[in-house]
Amino acid sequence: MSSSADRSASEAARRRTFAVISHPDAGKSTLTEALALHAQAITEAGAVHGKAGRRGVASDWMEMEKARGISVTSAVLQFAHRGCVLNLLDTPGHADFSEDTYRVLAAVDCAVMLIDAAKGLEEQTRKLFDVCRHRGIPVITFVNKWDRPGREALELMDEIEREFRLKPTPVTWPVGDAGYLRGLIDVRQPGRMLRYTRTPGGAHKAVEAPVPGQRAALEDEADWSKAVEELDLLQVDGAVHDQEAFLTGRTTPVFFGAAISNIGVRLLLDAIVDLAPPPGPRELESGGARPVDAPFSGLVFKVQANMDPAHRDRIAFMRVCSGIFERGMTVTRAASGKPFATKYAHSVFGQDRSMVDIAYPGDVVGLVNATALRVGDTLYAEQAAVFPPMPTFAPEHFAVARPADLSRSKQFRRGIAQLDEEGVVQVLVSDLRGDQAPVLAAVGPMQFDVVSARMAGEFSSPVKLEMLPYHLARATDTAGAEALNRSRIVQGEALTRIRDKAQLAVFPDRWQAGSFEREFPEARLDHLIAAHA
């Protein structure tokens, strides 16, 4: 093995690349801040609520995110902890932005699943977990908001096992019911309780103090006894962490805490270092896998423009999959076979960035002004590699977009093309309307809000959106598209997706699609991947 291969393998072993996933409002961006705070990557946590006079979270940089207090785009934070480099990918929780989240999950080795102590497993949490299972991504669970009234801890454990068909293995356990937290037990250090003193507003780390079990039994007798009995019951039932079972997706380590108060966050951060897997071989489209010590290869999983309003640039986020990335190196874009220069490469921390000269497997590099790159692109050096393509999901909402001011038509076209390349929406055209009135297709209607906000704010071209009555899309071909245009009984339309020239047949509902199939049984009509399945 060459020295560069040795270095690549040893540096990969120090990396932990993970995503935080959850249902909306479970506290995902707040947990992201808390993890960065405990790793000393920031000195003060922001508040996620976006109230006047309070900071927004570092990972939420878009004005719409700050105003609404939700994440609508994924963000990358890199920081060090205990000799490891952590690459944290904060994802949108809202179901309307499922496509962005699924793309991010293609770039991580582990996921932290956040559960609201009061609400338990919610719809979007279930969907995201299914994606993790499909991709073979091990999951660490953090039960959040234990400082507020919620459900019984044992009830939540039963729900995880029943709904996800994997064994929850508590690593920390609460002393006191939800809303009345007295402290936490670290299962790895039994016989003591960790007691927390909150800081005002949760802006700084909560003070953590170990309390011997005998003292805890005297001061919090009922809560301590209940917690110990529950842990004994779980351990008798086999709920004990096993690293191999975790990595193979049969168990999930469980932690309790409160992200906004920074309670239990240090234990979770340590667990990411101790339990989460480092980067490993990456599956190739042709079969086999690319080992981390092979020559450089990378996967573009996200494209984002205008993160820095002062520069109005465009960043392609690339996960380094193997080898060593060096700024300025010339690599090959697999889709075109053409060389690509990497002169401007940044390490990204939310909206902030700094020049990066070298990166290793697991790291995320922002390639600036990489206008040729698209989501799903593979880059490589020396030995050719192509990673599997990113999925495109079936849109369920459609709107015709037109410039509100015809004198801004040039900016309108540029902005729509940019949003299409980023994957903010799918952009389609039809013979009926022509290129000047593209049809925007989205998984969820909130994506249209993002389009309106960004077109006005970033491209100086406000748009008028006319909603179409379609909610079902099927893949078809030229013959199918022509048949749909000839139909006199079916309400529907044939559209062509600009990104890949795929032809789609769209209908108001499945009954109209069924009518088309009966009218033209020879026409091709294939199901697309459903984000809301």
Position 125 pLDDT exceeds 90? no
91 assigned to a ligand binding site:
yes
Whole-Å CA distances, 423 to 17, 97, 417, 420: 22, 10, 10, 5
Residues 49 and 158 in one domain: yes
Confidence of residue 200 (pLDDT cuts 50, 70, 90): low
In a domain, 155, yes or no: yes
Residues 308 and 436 in one domain: no
Position 221 pLDDT exceeds 70? yes
Q: Kindly state the average pLDDT of the residues 279-292.
A: 94
92 assigned to a ligand binding site:
yes
Residues 356 and 423 in one domain: no
Q: What percent of the chain has pLDDT over 90?
A: 56
CA distance 526 to 533: 16
Residues 367 and 407 in one domain: no
Position 68 pLDDT exceeds 60? no
Using the structure block, give the residue that is written with the tokens 């929850």: 168
Residues 195 and 210 in one domain: yes
Position 272 pLDDT exceeds 60? yes
CA distance 177 to 114: 18
What pLDDT is attached to residue 332?
Answer: 96
Whichever domain contains 370, its CATH number is: 2.40.30.10
What pLDDT is attached to residue 209?
Answer: 93
In a domain, 364, yes or no: yes
Closest CA to 113 of 3, 31, 39: 31
Position 374 pLDDT exceeds 90? no
Residues 493 and 426 in one domain: yes
What pLDDT is attached to residue 46?
Answer: 47
Confidence of residue 389 (pLDDT cuts 50, 70, 90): confident
Position 530 pLDDT exceeds 70? no
What pLDDT is attached to residue 42?
Answer: 53
Model-level pTM?
0.81
What pLDDT is attached to residue 205?
Answer: 75
What pLDDT is attached to residue 97?
Answer: 54
In a domain, 387, yes or no: no
Q: Kindly state the average pLDDT of the residues 381-388.
A: 94
3-class state of residue 289 by DSSP:
strand
Q: Kindly state the average pLDDT of the residues 208-222.
A: 92
311 assigned to a ligand binding site:
no
Residues 123 and 57 in one domain: yes
332 assigned to a ligand binding site:
no
Q: Kindly state the average pLDDT of the residues 503-519.
A: 94
Write out pLDDT tens, residues 466-479: 999 999 999 999 99
Residues 46 and 191 in one domain: yes
Position 106 pLDDT exceeds 60? yes
Closest CA to 261 of 446, 505, 30: 30
Residues 132 and 210 in one domain: yes
Q: Kindly state the average pLDDT of the residues 122-126.
A: 79
In a domain, 227, yes or no: yes
Q: Kindly state the average pLDDT of the residues 444-462.
A: 88
Closest CA to 215 of 192, 197, 194: 192
Element (H, E) at 254: strand 251-256
**Given 245, 275, 305, which residue is the final one in a domain?**
275
Position 197 pLDDT exceeds 80? yes
Position 59 pLDDT exceeds 50? no
CA distance 64 to 508: 30
Residues 252 and 129 in one domain: yes
Residues 250 and 320 in one domain: no
Position 350 pLDDT exceeds 70? no
What pLDDT is attached to residue 416?
Answer: 92
Tokens of 352: 């902030």
Q: What's the mean pLDDT when you consider all of the chain?
A: 86
Position 95 pLDDT exceeds 70? no
Q: What percent of the chain has pLDDT over 70?
A: 87
Position 30 pLDDT exceeds 90? no
**Given 275, 296, 313, which residue is the final one in a domain?**
275
What pLDDT is attached to residue 72?
Answer: 39
Instruction: Tell me the pairing of strands 139-144 and 251-256.
Output: parallel
In a domain, 260, yes or no: yes
94 assigned to a ligand binding site:
yes
Domain containing 292 equals 282-380
Position 401 pLDDT exceeds 50? yes
3-class state of residue 237 by DSSP:
coil
In a domain, 87, yes or no: no
**Given 380, 406, 435, which residue is the final one in a domain?**
380
- The CA-CA-CA angle for residues 528, 529, 531, to 5°, reads 130
What pLDDT is attached to residue 351?
Answer: 59
Q: How many domains does the chain have?
A: 3
Whichever domain contains 151, its CATH number is: 3.40.50.300
Query: In terms of C-beta distances under 8 Å and separation of at least 24 residues, what long-range contacts does 237-245 make, across chains too?
Result: 238/167, 239/157, 239/167, 239/168, 239/169, 239/170, 240/169, 241/169, 241/171, 241/187, 241/275, 242/169, 243/275, 245/167
Q: Kindly state the average pLDDT of the residues 278-302.
A: 94
The runs of H, that is alpha helices, within 287-408 are none
What pLDDT is attached to residue 64?
Answer: 47
In a domain, 83, yes or no: no
What pLDDT is attached to residue 92?
Answer: 62
Residues 117 and 225 in one domain: yes
In a domain, 152, yes or no: yes
What pLDDT is attached to residue 66?
Answer: 47
Using the structure block, give the residue that is written with the tokens 């009345």: 180
